[in-house]
Amino acid sequence: MTLQAVVVRFPGSNCDEDAHHAAATLLGAEARLVSHDTADLGEPDIVILPGGFSYGDYLRCGAMARFTKAMDFVARYAERGGAVLGICNGFQILCEAGLLPGALVQNSGLRFVCKDVYIRVETSRTFLTGGVPPGTVLRMPIAHGDGNWRAPEGALDGIVSRDQVLFRYVNAAGEREEGANPNGSLDDVAGLSNERGNVVALMPHPERAGDALLGGTDGAVLFQAAARSLLSKLVRS
C-alpha cells in the first residue's frame, strides 16, 4: 500500500523539489508535483504546500496564492478531512486562505532570518505529530522574512485551549526563553493545526532536515510520523 502525495508548485516556490523528494523518500509516497493552476489534484492522501515566495510575496505573503485553482481544491479537500501540510510559505498561504487561524507578518527584527532553530512538539493529536511525545525537541532550519505569527486580540486563548499549537520555538534544552524565538511570533508559535488536526503547518523546514548529509535528520521524525498516521488511516478505510 503506497501513499499518494501531491506537492503544489506556485510561481515563486523554491522548495517544491525538496518537498517532493521528502515526500518520496521520507513519507515513502508516490509523489507528484502539480501546478497551482490545476483545478483537480486527484485523490491524494496528503497535499503539501511548499516553501518559497509565491507570487513574489506581493501584497502579503501567500495572499495571491490563496486565490489559485489548486487552493480551491485544497479548501474542499481539507473540509472533507484530507491531510494538508504547509511549510513556511505554505503556512502563510493556509493562514491567508482561512484554513489556519491568524496571519504571518514581517519578523520583529525586520530582517530575513536563515539559521537552525529548535522547536518543541506541543501536541501529538495531528497526523504530523502522532506518536511523537509532546516535549520532543527538534532542530530544523528556517529561512523567512515573514514568520511572525499574529492572532486577533482574544483569539490566542481559544487556539491554545483547543490544542492547536503544534510547535513552539525553544532553546536546545526545550525551554522557552528570550532569544529562542527568531521572529517575534506570538506565544513562540512555530506551527499550528486546525481544530480537526488534518491541516497543519510550520515555519521551519523539515524537508531540509531529513538526511545527515544536510546536517540533521530531525525533519524525518515528522515525515515518518505522518507516514504512520496516513497509512493507518488507509488501512482502516
Looking at CATH, the fold of the domain delimited by 4-236 is given as: Rossmann fold (3.40.50)
For the question of residue 195 being annotated catalytic, the response is no
Query: What average pLDDT does the segment 67-85 reach?
Result: 98
pLDDT of 234 higher than 80: no
In the chain, % of residues over pLDDT 70: 99
Please state, in angstroms and as integers, the Cα–Cα distance from residue 168 to each residue in 5, 41, 42, 213, following that order: 26, 32, 33, 26
Q: What is the spatial distance between Cα 31 and Cα 36, in angstroms, rounded to a whole number? A: 16
Lowest average pLDDT, out of 96-100, 106-110, 181-185, goes to 106-110
pLDDT at 58: 86
> Where are the chain's structural domains?
4-236
Residue 208 β-bridge partners? none
Find cell 511548499 and name the residue.
50
Query: What average pLDDT does the segment 21-38 reach?
Result: 97
Find cell 524565538 and name the residue.
181
pLDDT band at 207; cut points 50, 70, 90: very high
Query: What average pLDDT does the segment 78-83 reach?
Result: 98
In the chain, % of residues over pLDDT 90: 92
For the question of residue 88 being annotated catalytic, the response is yes
Q: Average pLDDT of the chain?
A: 96
Strand ranges (E), 45-106: 46-49, 83-87, 103-105
Catalytic residue of the set 36, 96, 122, 207: 207
Catalytic residue of the set 20, 36, 144, 205: 205
Three-state DSSP at 149 gives strand
Catalytic residue of the set 15, 61, 88, 95: 88
pLDDT of 153 higher than 90: no
pLDDT at 237: 63
Q: What is the spatial distance between Cα 162 and Cα 142, in angstroms, rounded to a whole number? A: 26
Model pTM score: 0.97
